[in-house]
Amino acid sequence: MSDPTYPPPPLVPQAPVHEPERERPTATILAVVLIAILSVVLLLLVFGGDDGDPGASASPSASVSASGSAAPSASIPPSEAASPGDGSAAPSAPAPGASAPASAVSPPEGILPVGSTVEVAADGLRLREEPTTGAAEVATLAAGEVLYLFSGPTDLGPVEADGYSWYLGMYTPGYRDWPLNPPGSGDGPSGDPRLSGWFAANAGSEAYVELLPARCPVSTDIDGLYAATAWERLACLGEQQLTVEGTYGCSGCGGLAPGSFEPEWLAAPNFDIFTPPWADLPAVVEQMVLHVPPDVAELGSEQAGSVLRVTGHFNDPRSTECAITAGEGGEVPANDLAAEWYCRLGFVVESWEVIGTDPDWQGG
């Protein structure tokens, strides 16, 4: 606001006054006065602020940066996500199609995880009909060939025999793109170009195959999950809570697998198949299934062909309780560690809802 005394009133002419002559100030004196005045002003500016607010002199841009939120692209490391059942807040579910952080679960020590791929490290590795050196040969593999470890629970490796640790694998010469079926499946001379058999993974500390690294990150929509092996889903996603949309049901599925499975809802083979829309169903070696615990509403034939929105997770902590014994009466107990890691592969349902119907569903 302007001072009312300024500008000064016009001077009124007055009669000259004769006074004794005085010495006028020199330019040097005026400069000293001006410097003194400027010094006082600067001192007031520096020390005249509010002493109780140390941030009063911070620039506006600095204060905005300090209070701003993290950039949208920032992600939380998997180790900071809450695990199911640990009493902490559950992590928010990623939007369908979002990519998860790379790496979450390391491979188990002492065994090869089912649902993984391995590369042959020694020439002449034999694929056999049974896990023994006396069984008929299915194929002989050269170094660099790739095997897919089928993740069914009734033939879990390792099986210890003849000084070797045996695993059941699938093989097609020169093929590496598992879990997709090799081109021409069903059209080969044997009716299926996929060769299945048991191979010796190691003899003690001498390894004949090498576990291939998981291809992380894995996209968390239904198409992304189907593009990954069962082991890659577990290794890359861990126990993250996911919400996925897909078609429920399996046309032509049925039957019972012989053996004993505990807990049954998690360890037993089941036919709660969860797929992309049937019109876009990829030709994969094995399909993803849903494991529904007792405290979640059951899924049944009335939901077959429905499009579901399912929330759940892999790597369920109850996997440590899994026990699998294959055979008619349960004569062939699986390795305890292998049974646990088979159960860790399962997608455990926390909740589900029907959101539509798949028009291309071909089931009964």
pLDDT, tens digit, 9 for 90 and up, residues 36-73: 544 544 444 444 444 433 333 333 332 222 222 223 32
Where do the domains of the chain lie? 91-104+216-364, 117-213
Which among 304, 273, 278 is positioned nearest to 291, based on CA atoms?
273
The pTM of the full predicted model, rounded to 2 decimals, is 0.71
Burial string for 153-167 (b: 16+ CB within 10 Å, else e) reads: bbbbbbbebeebbbb
The whole-number pLDDT of residue 258 equals: 81
> CATH class for domain 117-213?
mainly beta
The whole-number pLDDT of residue 152 equals: 83
The whole-number pLDDT of residue 253 equals: 72
Rounded Cα distance, 338 and 322, in Å: 9
- Kindly report, residue by residue over 123-179, the tens digit of the pLDDT: 999 999 999 999 999 999 999 999 999 888 888 999 999 999 999 999 999 999 999
Which among 66, 84, 6, 24 is positioned nearest to 349, based on CA atoms?
84
Which CA distances in Å does 144 have to 55, 113, 114, 124, 181? 64, 19, 20, 11, 19
The whole-number pLDDT of residue 271 equals: 87
Element holding 152 (H helix, E strand):
none
The whole-number pLDDT of residue 254 equals: 66
Q: Number of C-alpha atoms within 13 angstroms, CB side, residue 64? A: 3
Mean pLDDT per 10-residue interval, the chain, length 364 residues: 36 32 41 45 42 34 28 29 32 44 83 96 96 96 96 89 96 94 65 85 96 96 97 97 95 74 93 93 92 96 96 98 84 89 97 97 78
| Torsion angle defined by CA atoms of residues 290, 292, 296 and 299, in that order, rounded to the nearest 10 degrees | 70
Which among 314, 321, 178, 196 is positioned nearest to 244, based on CA atoms?
314
